[in-house]
């Protein structure tokens, strides 16, 4: 295993270069449940469906995937099924495994335990609740990056973790050869723009704020990790593609097709609204979530159902 003296990633034949592939539209895949258990049938259906869409990578077992409620065996099975379905469909997409925690030592153990899983990297959130200093954040992430067998993308989301990774700290972390990018939910456009301006070559920044997807791409972000892209996936991909071609008016027009969707799917705690939509659309067999999450209210369910019906009529 890697040590603090230097990391030595072990490459599989099917492993992708995460730094090269960390761009475009990434999907933080929901984890389907049924009767309290991982719904493997629905998971296979989801994977086949999204592998056929313009998606550039998957995040598994993170916030949208209810990763903190998954047992270790369930998480391992989740990764194995997604990779198996990719192989069957002959389309390989990079996979990042979501990871979070407030104990650096335990996270290093988790890196050891998952080192042989068929993943391409990790998405690791800031330590929650303990509110470390910037020196603490620097030491924490450097220790993990030194230890990890696969590359790390960091996840800055201060409104969940109660601590912000400042740009000064982030730029130091970006110098580490095993830290390749960031999911940016910093909630400060000024901070994000400054980071995009000052980051080193090859350090990727993807927005994790669905409602700010177009804005972040316009500012220079490399892509987005977008829960709302479970719905109207092609449109979210088209926003990115049009901007890459320099067609801002076209990108704005496509964005207007989904902008309200990014608000609707976060009306109540995520991923319950998205799961309800996917259930009604037949992609998963149940909208079940795990406590402390609960399924959407009857009022929101009715609103989502009406929006599904409206979009079906428009598409007809």
Torsional class of 306: left (φ above 0), alpha (ψ -120 to 50), beta (otherwise) = alpha
Kindly state the DSSP code that residue 124 receives in the 8-state scheme.
Answer: E
Residue 59 tokens read as 């995040």
d(CA 81, CA 73): 12
Separation between Cα atoms, residue 308 and residue 277, nearest integer Å? 8
Length of the chain: 316
Q: Is 126 annotated as a binding residue?
A: no
User: What is the 8-class DSSP label of residue 174?
Assistant: T
Report the alpha-carbon distance of residue 205 to residue 222 in Å, rounded: 6
Q: Active site residue: 50, 183, 240, 275, which one?
A: 183
**37 a catalytic residue:** no
Is 183 catalytic? The answer is yes
List, in sequence order, every beta strand (DSSP E) within the chain.
24-28, 33-34, 37-38, 57-60, 95-99, 121-125, 152-156, 179-184, 204-207, 223-225
Residue 204, strand partner residues: 181
Backbone angles phi, psi at 190, to 5 degrees: -60, -45
Residue 147, helix vs strand vs coil: helix
Give CA–CA dist 249/123, Å, rounded.
33
- Whether 64 has a binding-site annotation, put simply, is yes
Q: Which of 50, 108, 128, 155 is an active site residue?
A: 155
Phi/psi region, residue 187 (left: phi>0; alpha: psi -120 to 50; beta: rest), is left
Residues making up the annotated binding site for pyruvate are: 64, 225
- Write out the catalytic residue numbers: 155, 183
Residues making up the annotated binding site are: 64, 225
């Amino acid at each position: 295993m890697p040590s603090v003296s230097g990391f030595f990633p072990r490459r599989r034949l099917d492993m992708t270069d995460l730094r090269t592939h960390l761009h475009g539209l990434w999907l933080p895949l929901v984890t389907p449940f049924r009767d309290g258990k991982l719904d493997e049938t629905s998971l296979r259906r989801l994977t086949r469906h999204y592998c056929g869409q313009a998606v550039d990578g998957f995040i598994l077992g993170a916030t949208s995937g209810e990763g903190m409620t998954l047992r270790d065996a369930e998480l391992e099975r989740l990764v194995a099924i997604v990779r198996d379905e990719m192989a069957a469909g002959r389309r390989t997409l990079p996979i990042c495994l979501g990871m979070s925690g407030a104990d650096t030592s335990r996270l290093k153990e988790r890196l050891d335990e998952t080192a042989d899983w068929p993943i391409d990297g990790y998405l690791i959130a800031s330590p929650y609740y303990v509110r470390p200093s910037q020196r603490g954040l620097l030491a924490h992430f450097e220790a993990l990056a030194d230890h990890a067998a696969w590359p790390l993308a960091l996840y800055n989301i201060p409104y969940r973790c109660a601590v912000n990774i400042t740009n000064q700290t982030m730029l130091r972390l970006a110098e580490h050869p095993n830290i390749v990018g960031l999911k940016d939910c910093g909630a400060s456009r000024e901070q994000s723009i400054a980071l995009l301006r000052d980051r080193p070559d090859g350090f990727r920044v993807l927005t994790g704020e669905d409602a700010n997807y177009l804005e972040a791409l316009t500012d220079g972000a490399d892509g987005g990790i977008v829960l709302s892209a479970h719905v109207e996936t092609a449109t979210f991909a088209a926003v990115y593609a049009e901007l890459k071609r320099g067609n801002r008016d076209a990108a704005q027009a496509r964005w207007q097709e989904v902008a309200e969707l990014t608000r609707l799917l976060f009306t109540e705690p995520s991923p319950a609204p998205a799961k309800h939509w996917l259930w009604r659309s037949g992609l998963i067999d149940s909208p079940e979530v795990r406590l402390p999450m609960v399924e959407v209210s009857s009022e929101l369910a009715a609103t989502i159902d009406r929006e599904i019906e409206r979009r079906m009529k428009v598409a007809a």
